[in-house]
Copies of this chain bind each other. A is one copy, B any other.
Amino acid sequence: MREVTLKQIAENLGISITTVSKALKDYPDVSKKTKALVKEEAKRLNYKPNVFAVNLRTKESKTVGLIVPEVVHHFFSSVINGIIEQAEKKGYLVIILQSNESSELEKKQIDLLISKRVDGIMISLASTTTDISHLNYVLEQETPMVMFDKISKLVDCSKIIINDREAAYVATKHLIDTGCKRIAHFRGALLPQNSIDRFLGYKKALEDHGIPYDSSLVYICERVDYQNGVDAATQLLQDHDDVDGVFAITDLVAIGAIKVFNEKGIKVPDDISIMGFSNWFVSSAITPSLSTIDQPGYEMGVKTFKLLYREMKAKKKGEKIVLKTKVLETALIKRNSTK
Protein backbone atom coordinates (compact mmCIF):
# COMPACT_ATOMS: atom_id res chain seq x y z
CA MET A 1 0.00 0.00 0.00
CA ARG A 2 1.55 3.27 -1.09
CA GLU A 3 0.65 6.16 1.16
CA VAL A 4 -1.54 8.74 -0.50
CA THR A 5 -0.17 12.25 0.04
CA LEU A 6 -1.03 15.73 -1.11
CA LYS A 7 1.84 15.47 -3.53
CA GLN A 8 0.30 12.39 -5.08
CA ILE A 9 -2.99 14.15 -5.66
CA ALA A 10 -1.24 17.24 -6.99
CA GLU A 11 0.73 15.22 -9.51
CA ASN A 12 -2.31 13.30 -10.70
CA LEU A 13 -4.14 16.56 -11.29
CA GLY A 14 -1.18 18.54 -12.55
CA ILE A 15 -1.61 21.30 -9.97
CA SER A 16 0.39 22.43 -6.97
CA ILE A 17 0.43 20.91 -3.48
CA THR A 18 -0.57 24.26 -2.06
CA THR A 19 -3.75 24.36 -4.06
CA VAL A 20 -4.62 20.81 -3.17
CA SER A 21 -4.15 21.55 0.52
CA LYS A 22 -6.26 24.66 0.35
CA ALA A 23 -8.96 23.01 -1.72
CA LEU A 24 -9.36 20.21 0.79
CA LYS A 25 -9.67 22.70 3.61
CA ASP A 26 -12.20 24.78 1.72
CA TYR A 27 -10.15 27.93 1.61
CA PRO A 28 -12.22 30.67 -0.03
CA ASP A 29 -9.52 31.54 -2.53
CA VAL A 30 -9.75 28.34 -4.54
CA SER A 31 -12.15 28.02 -7.46
CA LYS A 32 -15.16 25.79 -7.09
CA LYS A 33 -14.10 23.78 -10.06
CA THR A 34 -10.66 23.03 -8.63
CA LYS A 35 -12.13 22.18 -5.25
CA ALA A 36 -14.51 19.69 -6.80
CA LEU A 37 -11.73 18.11 -8.81
CA VAL A 38 -9.41 17.82 -5.83
CA LYS A 39 -12.04 16.42 -3.52
CA GLU A 40 -13.05 13.85 -6.05
CA GLU A 41 -9.50 12.68 -6.54
CA ALA A 42 -8.89 12.63 -2.78
CA LYS A 43 -11.93 10.48 -2.32
CA ARG A 44 -10.99 8.19 -5.14
CA LEU A 45 -7.57 7.58 -3.62
CA ASN A 46 -9.01 7.38 -0.10
CA TYR A 47 -6.70 10.15 1.00
CA LYS A 48 -6.17 10.59 4.74
CA PRO A 49 -4.01 13.47 5.89
CA ASN A 50 -0.92 12.37 7.74
CA VAL A 51 -1.68 13.39 11.31
CA PHE A 52 1.96 13.29 12.24
CA ALA A 53 2.65 16.11 9.81
CA VAL A 54 -0.50 17.96 10.78
CA ASN A 55 0.43 17.71 14.45
CA LEU A 56 3.89 19.03 13.75
CA ARG A 57 2.55 22.00 11.86
CA THR A 58 -0.40 22.86 14.05
CA LYS A 59 1.29 21.92 17.33
CA GLU A 60 -1.87 20.18 18.37
CA SER A 61 -2.42 16.47 18.88
CA LYS A 62 -6.21 16.44 19.26
CA THR A 63 -5.54 13.99 22.02
CA VAL A 64 -6.07 14.41 25.75
CA GLY A 65 -4.77 12.42 28.69
CA LEU A 66 -6.71 11.00 31.62
CA ILE A 67 -5.24 9.64 34.84
CA VAL A 68 -7.41 7.80 37.34
CA PRO A 69 -6.43 5.89 40.47
CA GLU A 70 -8.20 2.75 39.21
CA VAL A 71 -9.97 1.70 36.05
CA VAL A 72 -11.76 -1.30 37.53
CA HIS A 73 -13.98 0.75 39.77
CA HIS A 74 -17.65 1.52 39.32
CA PHE A 75 -17.29 5.23 39.88
CA PHE A 76 -14.20 5.81 37.78
CA SER A 77 -15.34 3.65 34.92
CA SER A 78 -18.49 5.78 34.77
CA VAL A 79 -16.40 8.92 34.66
CA ILE A 80 -14.25 7.42 31.90
CA ASN A 81 -17.40 6.63 29.98
CA GLY A 82 -18.59 10.25 30.19
CA ILE A 83 -15.20 11.61 29.21
CA ILE A 84 -14.53 9.47 26.16
CA GLU A 85 -18.03 9.95 24.79
CA GLN A 86 -17.83 13.70 25.15
CA ALA A 87 -14.29 13.85 23.80
CA GLU A 88 -15.19 11.85 20.72
CA LYS A 89 -18.01 14.27 19.99
CA LYS A 90 -15.52 17.11 19.91
CA GLY A 91 -12.99 15.22 17.83
CA TYR A 92 -10.59 14.33 20.62
CA LEU A 93 -9.22 10.95 21.56
CA VAL A 94 -8.41 9.98 25.11
CA ILE A 95 -5.29 8.27 26.41
CA ILE A 96 -6.09 6.59 29.71
CA LEU A 97 -3.57 5.82 32.43
CA GLN A 98 -4.06 4.39 35.89
CA SER A 99 -1.97 5.49 38.85
CA ASN A 100 -2.88 2.54 41.04
CA GLU A 101 -3.10 5.04 43.90
CA SER A 102 0.65 5.54 43.60
CA SER A 103 1.99 9.05 43.68
CA GLU A 104 5.23 8.11 41.93
CA LEU A 105 3.40 6.43 39.08
CA GLU A 106 1.16 9.44 38.81
CA LYS A 107 4.20 11.65 38.44
CA LYS A 108 5.70 9.48 35.72
CA GLN A 109 2.41 9.39 33.86
CA ILE A 110 2.13 13.15 33.92
CA ASP A 111 5.61 13.28 32.39
CA LEU A 112 4.58 10.77 29.76
CA LEU A 113 1.53 12.75 28.78
CA ILE A 114 3.47 15.99 28.60
CA SER A 115 6.11 14.33 26.41
CA LYS A 116 3.32 13.08 24.17
CA ARG A 117 2.16 16.68 23.93
CA VAL A 118 -1.46 15.96 24.70
CA ASP A 119 -3.62 19.06 24.36
CA GLY A 120 -4.96 18.72 27.89
CA ILE A 121 -4.96 16.56 31.00
CA MET A 122 -7.73 15.34 33.29
CA ILE A 123 -6.78 13.79 36.59
CA SER A 124 -8.21 12.34 39.76
CA LEU A 125 -5.42 12.10 42.33
CA ALA A 126 -3.94 9.04 43.98
CA SER A 127 -4.70 8.82 47.68
CA THR A 128 -1.04 9.13 48.56
CA THR A 129 -0.35 12.31 46.60
CA THR A 130 0.84 15.12 48.85
CA ASP A 131 3.66 16.59 46.81
CA ILE A 132 1.99 18.54 44.03
CA SER A 133 5.03 19.65 42.08
CA HIS A 134 4.20 17.42 39.11
CA LEU A 135 0.79 19.04 38.88
CA ASN A 136 2.22 22.51 38.94
CA TYR A 137 4.65 21.40 36.26
CA VAL A 138 1.69 20.76 33.97
CA LEU A 139 0.49 24.28 34.56
CA GLU A 140 3.95 25.70 33.90
CA GLN A 141 3.88 23.98 30.51
CA GLU A 142 0.66 25.86 29.93
CA THR A 143 -1.14 22.60 29.32
CA PRO A 144 -4.80 22.94 30.33
CA MET A 145 -5.68 20.63 33.21
CA VAL A 146 -8.89 19.78 35.02
CA MET A 147 -8.99 17.85 38.28
CA PHE A 148 -12.05 15.88 39.32
CA ASP A 149 -13.32 14.08 42.38
CA LYS A 150 -10.04 13.46 44.17
CA ILE A 151 -8.53 16.89 43.99
CA SER A 152 -5.94 18.96 45.78
CA LYS A 153 -7.03 22.36 46.95
CA LEU A 154 -3.46 23.56 46.56
CA VAL A 155 -3.36 23.23 42.79
CA ASP A 156 -4.57 26.25 40.89
CA CYS A 157 -6.65 24.70 38.11
CA SER A 158 -10.26 24.04 37.22
CA LYS A 159 -12.08 21.38 39.19
CA ILE A 160 -15.23 19.29 39.08
CA ILE A 161 -16.26 17.98 42.46
CA ILE A 162 -19.11 17.14 44.72
CA ASN A 163 -19.57 18.56 48.20
CA ASP A 164 -18.31 15.52 50.08
CA ARG A 165 -18.73 17.06 53.48
CA GLU A 166 -22.31 18.04 52.93
CA ALA A 167 -23.23 14.73 51.30
CA ALA A 168 -21.72 12.81 54.20
CA TYR A 169 -23.65 15.05 56.56
CA VAL A 170 -26.88 14.16 54.76
CA ALA A 171 -26.02 10.46 54.89
CA THR A 172 -25.31 10.55 58.61
CA LYS A 173 -28.34 12.67 59.31
CA HIS A 174 -30.48 10.10 57.54
CA LEU A 175 -29.24 7.47 59.98
CA ILE A 176 -29.99 9.78 62.88
CA ASP A 177 -33.42 10.67 61.51
CA THR A 178 -34.32 7.00 61.27
CA GLY A 179 -33.49 6.42 64.93
CA CYS A 180 -29.80 5.48 65.12
CA LYS A 181 -27.98 6.58 68.29
CA ARG A 182 -24.59 4.86 68.08
CA ILE A 183 -23.25 5.38 64.58
CA ALA A 184 -19.93 3.98 63.41
CA HIS A 185 -18.02 5.33 60.41
CA PHE A 186 -15.89 3.26 58.07
CA ARG A 187 -13.68 5.94 56.61
CA GLY A 188 -10.91 5.97 54.00
CA ALA A 189 -7.21 6.64 54.50
CA LEU A 190 -6.11 9.78 56.31
CA LEU A 191 -4.82 11.74 53.35
CA PRO A 192 -7.30 12.01 50.52
CA GLN A 193 -9.45 15.09 50.66
CA ASN A 194 -12.69 13.21 50.06
CA SER A 195 -11.94 10.83 52.92
CA ILE A 196 -11.31 13.78 55.21
CA ASP A 197 -14.39 15.65 54.06
CA ARG A 198 -16.74 12.71 54.45
CA PHE A 199 -15.39 12.12 57.91
CA LEU A 200 -15.93 15.76 58.82
CA GLY A 201 -19.49 15.64 57.50
CA TYR A 202 -20.17 12.58 59.64
CA LYS A 203 -18.73 14.26 62.71
CA LYS A 204 -20.61 17.49 62.16
CA ALA A 205 -23.93 15.68 61.78
CA LEU A 206 -23.40 13.91 65.09
CA GLU A 207 -22.53 17.13 66.86
CA ASP A 208 -25.47 19.03 65.40
CA HIS A 209 -27.82 16.37 66.70
CA GLY A 210 -26.50 15.97 70.21
CA ILE A 211 -24.72 12.68 69.64
CA PRO A 212 -21.26 12.64 71.22
CA TYR A 213 -18.44 11.85 68.79
CA ASP A 214 -16.61 8.67 69.77
CA SER A 215 -13.34 8.04 67.96
CA SER A 216 -13.48 4.33 68.82
CA LEU A 217 -16.38 4.09 66.36
CA VAL A 218 -14.27 5.25 63.44
CA TYR A 219 -12.51 2.53 61.43
CA ILE A 220 -9.99 3.21 58.71
CA CYS A 221 -10.27 1.37 55.40
CA GLU A 222 -6.93 1.93 53.71
CA ARG A 223 -7.93 0.63 50.31
CA VAL A 224 -11.66 1.36 50.40
CA ASP A 225 -12.64 -1.97 48.89
CA TYR A 226 -14.95 -4.88 49.62
CA GLN A 227 -12.48 -6.75 51.80
CA ASN A 228 -11.89 -3.64 53.89
CA GLY A 229 -15.63 -3.52 54.54
CA VAL A 230 -15.64 -7.14 55.61
CA ASP A 231 -12.70 -6.58 57.94
CA ALA A 232 -14.03 -3.38 59.48
CA ALA A 233 -17.45 -4.91 60.13
CA THR A 234 -15.89 -7.99 61.71
CA GLN A 235 -13.73 -5.81 63.94
CA LEU A 236 -16.68 -3.59 64.83
CA LEU A 237 -18.68 -6.57 66.07
CA GLN A 238 -15.79 -7.58 68.30
CA ASP A 239 -15.30 -4.10 69.73
CA HIS A 240 -18.87 -2.96 70.28
CA ASP A 241 -22.27 -4.48 70.94
CA ASP A 242 -24.33 -1.32 70.98
CA VAL A 243 -23.81 0.10 67.48
CA ASP A 244 -27.04 0.58 65.55
CA GLY A 245 -25.81 2.41 62.47
CA VAL A 246 -22.87 2.45 60.07
CA PHE A 247 -21.93 5.09 57.53
CA ALA A 248 -19.44 3.65 55.05
CA ILE A 249 -17.27 5.88 52.87
CA THR A 250 -18.34 4.01 49.77
CA ASP A 251 -20.83 1.37 48.62
CA LEU A 252 -18.18 -1.27 48.19
CA VAL A 253 -17.23 -1.05 51.84
CA ALA A 254 -20.91 -1.03 52.86
CA ILE A 255 -21.55 -4.16 50.82
CA GLY A 256 -18.70 -5.93 52.60
CA ALA A 257 -20.28 -4.94 55.92
CA ILE A 258 -23.72 -6.17 54.87
CA LYS A 259 -22.22 -9.49 53.88
CA VAL A 260 -20.72 -9.91 57.37
CA PHE A 261 -23.92 -8.88 59.12
CA ASN A 262 -25.98 -11.22 56.97
CA GLU A 263 -23.69 -14.10 57.81
CA LYS A 264 -23.66 -13.40 61.53
CA GLY A 265 -27.45 -13.21 61.65
CA ILE A 266 -27.48 -9.51 62.42
CA LYS A 267 -30.56 -7.99 60.85
CA VAL A 268 -30.11 -5.00 58.55
CA PRO A 269 -31.68 -2.53 59.19
CA ASP A 270 -33.47 -3.79 62.33
CA ASP A 271 -30.31 -4.37 64.36
CA ILE A 272 -27.93 -2.15 62.42
CA SER A 273 -28.70 0.34 59.65
CA ILE A 274 -26.17 0.93 56.88
CA MET A 275 -25.52 3.89 54.60
CA GLY A 276 -23.22 3.65 51.61
CA PHE A 277 -21.89 6.35 49.29
CA SER A 278 -21.80 6.48 45.46
CA ASN A 279 -24.94 4.69 44.32
CA TRP A 280 -23.26 1.98 42.39
CA PHE A 281 -25.95 0.04 40.54
CA VAL A 282 -25.06 -3.12 42.46
CA SER A 283 -26.29 -1.37 45.60
CA SER A 284 -29.84 -1.93 44.49
CA ALA A 285 -29.16 -5.56 43.61
CA ILE A 286 -27.93 -6.82 46.95
CA THR A 287 -30.16 -7.92 49.83
CA PRO A 288 -31.12 -5.75 51.58
CA SER A 289 -30.72 -3.05 48.98
CA LEU A 290 -28.39 -0.31 50.12
CA SER A 291 -29.34 3.23 51.08
CA THR A 292 -26.71 5.55 49.71
CA ILE A 293 -25.73 8.89 48.25
CA ASP A 294 -25.95 9.28 44.53
CA GLN A 295 -22.68 10.53 43.08
CA PRO A 296 -23.01 11.33 39.38
CA GLY A 297 -19.98 9.68 37.76
CA TYR A 298 -21.04 9.87 34.14
CA GLU A 299 -22.07 13.50 34.49
CA MET A 300 -18.79 14.27 36.20
CA GLY A 301 -16.95 12.82 33.20
CA VAL A 302 -18.97 14.87 30.73
CA LYS A 303 -18.50 18.09 32.70
CA THR A 304 -14.82 17.45 33.19
CA PHE A 305 -14.16 17.14 29.49
CA LYS A 306 -16.35 20.11 28.66
CA LEU A 307 -14.42 22.29 31.04
CA LEU A 308 -11.12 21.08 29.63
CA TYR A 309 -12.38 21.67 26.11
CA ARG A 310 -13.25 25.26 26.95
CA GLU A 311 -9.74 25.82 28.27
CA MET A 312 -8.09 24.22 25.27
CA LYS A 313 -10.12 26.41 22.97
CA ALA A 314 -9.29 29.53 24.94
CA LYS A 315 -5.61 28.68 24.89
CA LYS A 316 -5.67 28.17 21.14
CA LYS A 317 -7.25 31.56 20.62
CA GLY A 318 -4.74 33.11 22.96
CA GLU A 319 -7.48 34.16 25.36
CA LYS A 320 -6.96 34.19 29.07
CA ILE A 321 -8.14 31.01 30.79
CA VAL A 322 -10.68 31.59 33.51
CA LEU A 323 -10.50 28.84 36.12
CA LYS A 324 -13.71 27.33 37.39
CA THR A 325 -14.74 24.95 40.12
CA LYS A 326 -18.04 23.21 39.59
CA VAL A 327 -19.81 21.42 42.39
CA LEU A 328 -22.20 18.73 41.19
CA GLU A 329 -25.37 17.80 43.05
CA THR A 330 -25.66 14.60 45.06
CA ALA A 331 -28.85 13.00 46.33
CA LEU A 332 -29.95 10.81 49.20
CA ILE A 333 -31.20 7.43 47.98
CA LYS A 334 -33.32 5.62 50.56
CA ARG A 335 -33.49 1.87 50.22
CA ASN A 336 -33.84 -1.08 52.59
CA SER A 337 -30.62 -0.97 54.58
CA THR A 338 -31.98 1.91 56.63
CA LYS A 339 -35.36 2.19 58.36
Contact = CB atoms under 8 A, between A and B. Distances in A.
B287 A259 contact: yes
A80 interface: yes
**Chain B CB within 10 A, most for which of A61, A112, A226, A285:** A285
A145 interface: no
**Chain B CB within 10 A, most for which of A78, A81, A140, A256:** A81
A149 to B, nearest CB: 16
Contact of A95 (B56, B63, B282): B63
Contacts of A63: 95, 116
Interface stretch (A46-54, A128-136, A179-187): A46-54
Interface in A275-332: 281-282, 285-287
Interface string A79-103: 0110011001000011111100000
Interface stretch (A23-31, A69-77, A202-210): A69-77
Contacts of A114: 48
A16 interface: no
Contacts of A5: none
Number of copies: 2
B117 A51 contact: yes
A281 B61 CA distance: 38
A96 B117 contact: no
Given A1-B141, A286-B287, A72 B77 contact: yes
Given A52-B56, A142-B1, A98 B117 contact: no
Interface of A: 1, 48-53, 55-56, 59, 61, 63, 71-74, 77-78, 80-81, 84-85, 88, 93-98, 109, 112, 114-117, 140-142, 226, 255-256, 259, 262, 281-282, 285-287
